[in-house]
Amino acid sequence: MPETLTALLEGTAARHPGATALVGAARRLDYATFAAASRRVAEALSRQGIGPGDRVAVWLPNRPEFLVLLFALARLGACAVFVNTRFRGEEVSSLIDRARPSALVTAWGFAPVDFPALLEGILPDARAPLRFVVGVDAPEGAAAVAGLPVLPWEALELALERAADDAAPDAACLTFTTSGTTAGPKLVLHRQRAVAGHALDVMRGFGTDAPEAAALSAIPLCGTFGLTLAMAAIAGGARIVTMDRFDAAEADALIRRERVTHSSGGDDLAERLIEAAAGRPYDVPLLFGFGAFRPGADAVVARGDAIGLRCRGVYGSSEVQALFSLQPADSPRRAFGGGIPVGGAEIRVRDAATGGLAAPGVNGELEFRAPSLFAGYLNNPEATAKAMTADGFFRSGDLGRIEPEGSPAGGFGFEARIGDTLRLGGFLVNPEEIEGFLKRQPGVAEAQVVGVEGDPGGGGGGGTAAVAFVQAAAGAALSEPALLAACRDGLARFKVPARIVTVESFPVTESPNGPKIQRVRLREMAAALPAAAAELAAASPG
């Protein structure tokens, strides 16, 4: 079993040298060529002083060079610091300041974002550790950017192949960014053993070693969901079809032309694929690792089934890596997160009320101990200590349960982020219960429910009140009194929202794993509702 990224790639290249590995807009590489390119890039970077322990910031869209670079850095014992392609100047500046990379690799000519121009605006003290920039598709004459020398990518691929291998199982190999404090995101550090081992586990669980397997890399490789699928494809000798930015019509065409068998993403991406397919079934069934971030997941799964897009709920995070688990194909919870872990994971649930371990079927905080677990938050020992238990389990911050023995669902179930769950009338309530009810009401297209703390306006109330935001279906007009009346008739009293507000759209944020609704922003909107204080105080349990 390979314990380094070098061993992972070289092993696949030895078994499948002529199999197509990477498919980009401008090039196709087989596995032998892929491995040789990583050796050449490693040699070129070594000559620039990059070696064991160094960090290199990777600010690239999905394209073959991204993966070639990752394996080149692993061969050198260096660490890739992934920069979200949606980040802008201040965010990149903060990340560079935290990670202190020696070099940065970026692309010219990426239409949505002018990376070199953004680099020019980064504060000089933040870029101080950077010695040079590697430019993918850098124009002739681009000798410097932001005062740093530019080394063209083409020059790296002209180097001799590096035979030396400084990869080590315990060497840090990559960081993902995840939510942090207002000071900036945390950098989730992984070691080579964890990434290589998880790639093999996901390969076995998802079948990326099947003959003619092909993975569509549709979500950013800089995030764990995008990267993990690609690594599992490499472990299995599958080809990886990269998209530098997602376009539904183009993705649909690539799936058909390249006979794609595997992909992953959120419900938004799945819906856009289904719309682009326009009812035309795929020739080859496609296993889609599905993340539900909005109400209506069951409907998306049913629509996908009709065209051969087999959506199955998954679970993952930057800390335990993506595709950590997969719902069984016949699970009644196939549309939701959780399922059966792909590797040798230990899972337990912590009961918030007692502090002890919860019995199967009882919701609490999910805790994980697994070979795929992160090594810590880079340069943030306080956050690392807070995230871990004394016996080595990761506190996920997610609400879930171990499925009871004999349950048709199996494994474990993910419910929601604990910060999103509501304690109403003394009961812990998943907002999806209320959202699902609202979506079944005539004229309601989507719904989101958040909680607002009690005692607003000093009225003496305590606890939490629910506030719902709804979107109207096309041509429909929604009435708050009518929806509230329906809730009173159909829901327990403590679940009835204090307010139901119609909005044109929900606030969203883009992440490497797809758009997510900003529930924090919804809570702010709920707290700021005109005349909300008295109503919320009255609705809050005493």
pLDDT exceeds 80 at position 10: yes
In this prediction, residues 477-501 reach a mean pLDDT of 91
pLDDT bracket for residue 418 (50, 70, 90): confident
For residues 337 and 357, give the distance between their C-alpha atoms in angstroms, rounded to a whole number: 21
**Higher-scoring residue by pLDDT: 514, 42:** 42
pLDDT bracket for residue 183 (50, 70, 90): very low
pLDDT exceeds 60 at position 198: yes
Q: Is residue 375 part of a domain?
A: no
pLDDT bracket for residue 513 (50, 70, 90): low
3-state class of 411 per DSSP? coil
pLDDT of 94:
84
Q: What is the pLDDT of residues 222-278, one digit of tens each?
A: 999 999 999 999 999 999 999 999 999 999 999 999 999 999 998 889 999 999 999
Q: Which amino acid does the sequence have at 461?
A: G
- Return phi, psi of residue 499, to 5°: -140, 150
Q: Which amino acid does the sequence have at 102?
A: S
pLDDT exceeds 60 at position 477: yes
Using CA atoms, how far residue 483 sits from 76, 261, 290, 294, 469, in Å, is 61, 43, 31, 20, 11
What rounded mean pLDDT belongs to the chain?
Answer: 90
Q: Is residue 439 part of a domain?
A: yes
pLDDT exceeds 70 at position 535: no
For residues 232 and 316, give the distance between their C-alpha atoms in angstroms, rounded to a whole number: 14
pLDDT exceeds 90 at position 185: no
pLDDT of 58:
98
pLDDT exceeds 70 at position 515: no
Q: Is residue 268 part of a domain?
A: no
pLDDT exceeds 80 at position 38: yes
Q: Is residue 102 part of a domain?
A: no
pLDDT of 182:
39
Q: Considering only CA atoms, which of 295, 298, 335 is closest in space to residue 447? A: 295
pTM of the model: 0.83
pLDDT exceeds 70 at position 476: yes
Q: Which amino acid does the sequence have at 223?
A: G
Taking each helix axis as running N to C, give the angle between helix 5-15 and helix 64-75, from 0 to 180 degrees, rounded to the nearest 10: 120
Q: Is residue 517 part of a domain?
A: yes
Q: Considering only CA atoms, which of 417, 414, 374 is closest in space to residue 394? A: 374
Using CA atoms, how far residue 469 sits from 127, 450, 480, in Å, is 42, 8, 10
pLDDT exceeds 60 at position 409: yes
Q: Is residue 498 part of a domain?
A: yes
pLDDT exceeds 70 at position 345: yes
Q: What is the pLDDT of residues 129-149, one digit of tens each?
A: 999 999 999 998 899 998 899
Q: Is residue 152 part of a domain?
A: no
pLDDT of 1:
86
Q: Give percent of the chain with pLDDT exceeding 90.
A: 72
Residue 457's domain is classified under what CATH number? 3.30.300.30
Q: Give percent of the chain with pLDDT exceeding 70.
A: 92
Report how many domains make up the chain: 1
**Higher-scoring residue by pLDDT: 452, 77:** 77
pLDDT of 463:
59
pLDDT of 459:
33
pLDDT of 195:
98
For residues 231 and 238, give the distance between their C-alpha atoms in angstroms, rounded to a whole number: 10
The burial of 141, by beta-carbon neighbours within 10 Å (0-12 exposed, 13-18 middle, 19 or more buried), is given as exposed
pLDDT exceeds 50 at position 394: yes
pLDDT of 40:
98
pLDDT of 33:
98
In this prediction, residues 107-122 reach a mean pLDDT of 87
pLDDT of 489:
84
pLDDT bracket for residue 454 (50, 70, 90): low
Q: Is residue 486 part of a domain?
A: yes
Q: Considering only CA atoms, which of 322, 23, 74, 40 is closest in space to residue 198? A: 322
pLDDT bracket for residue 122 (50, 70, 90): confident
pLDDT of 56:
98
Q: Tell me the residue range of the domain where 523 lies.
A: 421-539
